[in-house]
Structure 1
Amino acid sequence: MKAEFDPVTLATPFFILSIILEIVLARMGKAQARYEAKDTAVSLGMGLGSTVAGVFTAGLIFAATVWVYEHRLFTIPMTAIWAWVAIFLLEDLTYYVFHRVSHERRFWWASHVNHHSSQHYNLSTALRQTWTGGVAGTWLLWLPLAWLGFPPAMIAIQKGISLVYQYWIHTEAIRRLPRWFEAVFNTPSHHRVHHARNPLYLDKNYAGILIIWDRMFGTFQPELDEEPCRYGLVKNMATFNILRVAFHEWAGIVQDVVRHPRHALGYIFGPPGWSHDGSRETSAMIKARAAEAPAQPAGAIREAA
């Protein structure tokens, strides 16, 4: 029950060529894109490492999906058009849930944080993927699709399509698309907001392909011209050490649990930034503090960025 084709594998040459093209166009002044050699190397290294790490958990994930499928409620044919429409919507909703949980709970943020660690936003950033996603178990969220009756191959194909779609939205070269497209689909503008560390933009726009989920569940934020995106983490890492990029939040969890074992559950499953004594700030605290601060002139905001 293997996928007929892997969209990500097929798109890999396009990923490489498009990154090269974006760099060339930026050097020529034809496109807005910022690249830094060490930063790009980390992104590419994280992408390669993610592929290697996935090999070690692929068997478990595939076996679990097949087992659940064998106990399915219905048998959904891969040849039916309605089935592909259904899997498109349900898989995209699943991605939204996964992405939101990965930002709101520290255990899963530890696996996802590396994707947000670059202070640049370009096509190579899309390849800065986790090495620990399989261990974190976020793949469990997709098992209900197999239980409903979608074949594992169908689920894998749609997940691949979603990942390929999300690649091209990691760019500053595309500013705005037609309003109807921006209203329905995730776009570079929407995803720039998601990668921004501005208080206004924190924990917004979790969409995979369809931005409608964010609009429905109250997590949508448009990109504002008067609020330029500042990328990276709330506290950026001053290193290009790929091992620290991949594992620093896991190490932080271990340190916090060892120091404060009575509050272990909070440090593991609380929101990122949670602390038992309130000495650190969560996204909600940062947003609340920013909302209370007096507004800055647009020029001052741009200068700070």
Structure 2
Amino acid sequence: MPEFPDPTLYAIPFFVLTVAIEFFASRYRDHIKYDVKDMATSLTLGTGSVFAGALTGGIAVAAGFWVYQYRIFEVPLTAWWAWVLVFFVDDFFYYIFHRGAHRIRWVWAAHVNHHSSQYYNLGTALRQPWTSTFALTWIFGLPMFWLGFHPAMVAFAGGVNLLYQYWIHTEAIDKMPRWFEAVMNTPSHHRVHHATNPRYLDKNYAGIFIIWDRMFGTFERETDEEQIQYGIIKNLKGYNIFWAVFHEWVGMAKDLWSAPWRYKLNYLIKPPGWSHDGSRESSETIRARWQNSLKK
């Protein structure tokens, strides 16, 4: 069993230092916004996710090794091209997972706490899920093991992917050079992803490479026409950590209890906001209403 370092664990001192720097910079720069209680919530959610991963991550690892037994190719651990390939392939499957996390309510229930802050800063990047294993998010990566990528290799690539995404959670950086914006995920692109403005809903799912969004029609460019609003459609009130983690699971359980039998499964697999009687708003209905308003 090869062992590779966990990039995110080694980067923790860097996270703490850069969040502190940006926090103090916000006192002198109006475009950088922090709230002390919000930042404390982000740090607590990030710390909790580390412990949650340590407690439940073994399930995903076991599943990965089980699938790896039936691999159809043998991707060598020592070949340079294999490491280039794994980062591209891992990022492609991250795009699939991330898109699914916004389109499948069961997966969204774990992912939503990452979007729960109404601020966008480096602290927000630390709002990581506690219930990912329970939400079965690891299923999205299983095809990589079947293709022949060793689980340790995939874990390292995933850690680098997560580490890359840290720096794009900021309003301190406006736009990168055009060539970089064309290929890579950037703060500008990811601000769109965290926005609740109708034009931006369910856009820019990229991890490292924005090319996947451009290829599959989910790309949206940041515009200066309107100020970005961050958070979720129904923002949380207060800073209760456990409510931030479990509120969507609670809401889903209530829907399962009260919904007619023929609709129960849909409340798990349909997009957030879906309802059998059309009484709620989803990203599609919000966007459609906004587009209709432009035509008037």
Q: Which range moved further: 197-206 or 36-45?
A: 36-45
> 1:126-168, CA deviations, whole angstroms, 9 ceiling, x for partnerless residues?
0001110011111111111111111111101100000000000
Q: Which moved more, 1:56-65 or 1:178-187?
A: 56-65
CA distance in 1, matches of 2:19, 2:283: 32
Query: 2:268 — aligned with what?
Result: 268
2:285: which partner in 1? 285
- Corresponding residue of 1:151: 150
2:199 matches 1:195? no
In the superposition, relative to structure 1, how do residues 172 and 41 fare at CA in structure 2: closer, same or farther (>3 Å)?
Answer: same
Shift of 1:233: 0.8
Rounded to whole Å, the distance in 2 between the matches of 1:6 and 1:81 is 19
Cα offset, 1:28, TM superposition: 3.0
- Map 1:165-176 to 2 at 5 A: 165-176=164-175
1:48 is aligned to 47
Partner amino acid for 1:22?
A: E
Q: 2-11 vs 210-219, which deviates more?
A: 2-11
- For 2:61, the equivalent position in structure 1 comes to 62
Q: SS of 1:102's equivalent?
A: helix
Change in 2 beyond 3 A, CA 1:2/1:133: farther
Q: Is the 8 A contact 1:3 1:157 kept in 2?
A: no
Q: Structure 1 counterpart of 2:35, which letter?
A: E
Which deviates more from structure 2 when the two are superposed, residues 238-247 or residues 185-194?
238-247
CA positional deviation for 1:283? 0.4
Give the distance between the partners of 1:247 and 1:282, measured in 2 at CA. Answer: 20
Amino acid paired to 1:28: Y
2:129 pairs with 1:130: yes
Q: Distance in 1 between matches of 2:3 and 2:137?
A: 20
Percent identity (aligned): 56
What is the alpha-carbon distance in structure 2 between the residues aligned to residue 125 and residue 231 of structure 1? 11
In the TM superposition, what whole-angstrom CA distance separates every residue of 1:24-74 from its partner, at most 9, and x where no partner exists? 222233x73111111111111111111111112222221221222222212
Query: Which segment drifts farther, 98-107 or 137-146?
Result: 137-146
The answer as to whether partners of 2:202 and 2:218 remain within 8 angstroms in 1 is: yes
Q: Does 1:255 align with 2:278?
A: no
Quickly say closer, same or farther: Cα 1:40–1:2, change in 2 above 3 A.
farther
Post-superposition offset of 1:223: 0.2
Paired residue secondary structure (1:193): helix
Matching residue of 1:24: 24
Following the alignment from structure 1 to structure 2, what is the Cα–Cα distance between the partners of residues 182 and 83? 26
Q: CA deviation at 1:236?
A: 0.9
Change (3 A) 1:148 1:117: same
The residue type equivalent to 2:22 in the other structure is E
How many positions carry a matched residue from both structures? 295
Contact between 1:2 and 1:152, CA under 8 Å: does it hold in 2? no
CA contact (8 A) 2:59 2:133 kept: no
Task: Name stretches of at least 5 consecutive residues in structure 1 with no aligned partner.
Answer: 297-305
What residue is the counterpart of 1:5 in the other structure?
A: 5
Task: Kindly provide the CA deviation profile for residues 204-236 of structure 1, in whole angstroms up to 9, marking residues without a partner as x.
Answer: 000000000000000000000112211011111
1:294 Cα offset (Å): 4.2
Which aligned runs of 4 or more in structure 1 are off by greater than 3 angstroms?
none
TM-score by length of 1: 0.94
In structure 2, give the amino acid aligned to 1:245: A
Q: Which residue of 1 aligns with 2:220?
A: 221
